[in-house]
Chains A and B, each alone.
Chain A
Amino acid sequence: MRDVAIIGAGVTKFGELWDKSFRALGIEAGIKAMSDANLSGNEIDGIFIGNMSAGQFIKQKHIDALIADYTGMATNHIPATRVEAGGASGGVAFRQAVMAVASGMHDVVMVGGAEKMTDMDDVSINSVLDATADAEWEAGMGVTFAGLHAMIANRMIHDGIATREEIASFSVNSHFHGALNPNAQFRKAITLDTVLKSGPTATPLGMFDCAPISDGAAGLVLCPLEDAKKYTDSYVKVSAVAQASDTLALFQRPDITTYQATVEAAKRAYEQAGITAQDIDVAEVHDTYTVTGIMALQDLGFYKRGEAGKAVLNEECHFDSGKIAINTSGGLKARGHPIGATGVAQIVEIVEQLRGSADKRQVENAKYGLAQNTGGTGSAVTVSILEAM
């Protein structure tokens, strides 16, 4: 297996982008990534796209063909593959692309992630989201996606793993960073009180505990590490890409206050990279809901069970805290969550941090960065580790 490098990264602004189509967003991210890698376009020999539900959101299936066509790659007839793994679609697409280059099957691969959600009405959007849980035995019984996460939160509070205030503080951390990211959907810092007093979605969680509905796209270019210098001086190494699965339905797990798929994927990723959780300087974790952000910090081994919430509430996760900086992009909550784009955008943020191009939210001397991307209620999780070169 060959070592793999990321030589280009690009992301669109995330938000309710009424004036931009799915195609326009996908192309914008692709062009940014390609230009960042100093490519002419002809070098690319494969495309992997993370997309969850374009078939429902914009009634367009066959996204692989659409992206290949509109990025101009179809004239070269290069293979394009669309990947769906719920909220982890982007992370899984990234892993497929890394494997393609590592194996020697491909040399220069484009990874895209895109979702256009706001062409659909809110009620219909939520039923699409509910279907990433068990459509028959959770959503079909009236147990919504928000309801599932709220039940995790209530059990965590009951078991003394985190308080309501600690869980809510994850949103404050995300918004603190979102304010520093020009591409974020929400660019305004908020207080704990705002989260606690926001209208309820599913108790104990309120509106400010939930990632928004967003449009957006992100792109990356990968090549063998040994070739990276041919294209650019600012590249990063992919030190690990791990993936793990779990039951589709949350209620079928022995413990709902941890995502075993995160624990397993993290273990495999640290082994691949030859490092431990304590070596990570900056991480993007999947905060679809505040509670999943808190769980991720514990499941990734950054904090012991019961300690993550306290750390976030104490503002230890800020980019300039000197500890592991968490969700410097603003996370899903503030940067936005165009589902298929999220896993790829997380990698883009880590690339920016490791190259030292994260501007106002730059973590000093970041060497190792990690991204954790989750599908459903932890039924599919990817953990990727990147290293500064």
Chain B
Amino acid sequence: MSSVAREWREVPGRYNLKGTKCANCGTIYFPRRDFCPKCRRAGIGKIEEYDICRTGEVYTYSIVYDAPAMCDMIKPYAVVMVRTDDGVMIAGQLVDVDLEKVAIGMRVRAVMRKLSTDGESGIIRYGYKFVPAE
């Protein structure tokens, strides 16, 4: 990941959990989809902006020890799939948490944090991470 345009383009989704909703069938998508796989052609022109709910619970998790993708992450760290309260699944990191206490069913909320610093270009990437809800 290195170009400024590539990072800037994804800001609405990554900073603000902006997704989309198909008005034809009601399905919510994150990341955004501008073509509904359920309705296909029937959904064209019926895709609306949708703010994904920022709270939810941990559907599954792992504590990652071997993590080259984000080289400036302090290892180990927690990764999770979160089912938001509007039923959308999102993958990301869970931070500000005692790693021993991460569990399926745990309540979490999304916050904006630094994701990584790109070594060559120096671009700092921001985006959502999850923290315990309480």
Interface on A for B, CB 8 Å cutoff? 122-124, 126-127, 130, 136-144, 146-148, 150-155, 158, 199-205, 249-252, 256
Contact = CB atoms under 8 A, between A and B. Distances in A.
A360 B127 CA distance: 54
Interface string B1-30: 100000000100000000000000000000
A141 B91 contact: yes
A11 B11 CA distance: 47
Contact of B104 (A122, A136, A158): A158
A146 B62 CA distance: 9
Given A249-B91, A251-B91, A142 B73 contact: yes
Contacts of A200: 63, 65-66, 76
Nearest to A155: B60
Given A141-B93, A142-B73, A142-B79, A256 B65 contact: no
Contacts of A143: 69, 79, 91-93
Determine chain B's interface SS by DSSP, over half rule: strand
Contacts of B65: 199-203
A379 to B, nearest CB: 14
B115 A136 contact: no
Most chain-A CB neighbours within 10 Å: which of B10, B60, B70?
B60
B63 A151 contact: no
A152 B60 contact: yes
B1 A140 contact: yes
B60 A256 contact: yes
Given A142-B115, A151-B80, A256-B60, 11 more contacts: A127-B68, A136-B31, A141-B92, A142-B92, A146-B64, A150-B62, A151-B60, A154-B62, A202-B62, A203-B65, A204-B62
Nearest to A145: B69
Contacts of B91: 137-138, 141, 143, 148, 249-251
Interface residues on B, range: 20 to 34
A250 B60 CA distance: 12
Instruction: Please give me the 5 A-B residue pairs with the lowest Cβ-Cβ distance, nearest first.
Output: A150-B62, A155-B60, A123-B68, A126-B68, A142-B70
B108 interface: no
A143 B62 CA distance: 9
B67 interface: yes
A137 B66 contact: no
A148 B60 CA distance: 10
B60 A147 contact: no
Nearest to B62: A150
Nearest to A253: B89
B50 interface: no
A251 B79 contact: no
B128 to A, nearest CB: 8
Contacts of A252: 89
Interface string B89-112: 111110000000000100000000
A199 B106 CA distance: 26
Nearest to B95: A142
Contacts of B73: 142
Contacts of B104: 154-155, 158
5 contacts: A130-B68, A137-B91, A141-B115, A144-B64, A151-B61
Given A138-B91, A151-B79, A252-B89, A144 B67 contact: yes
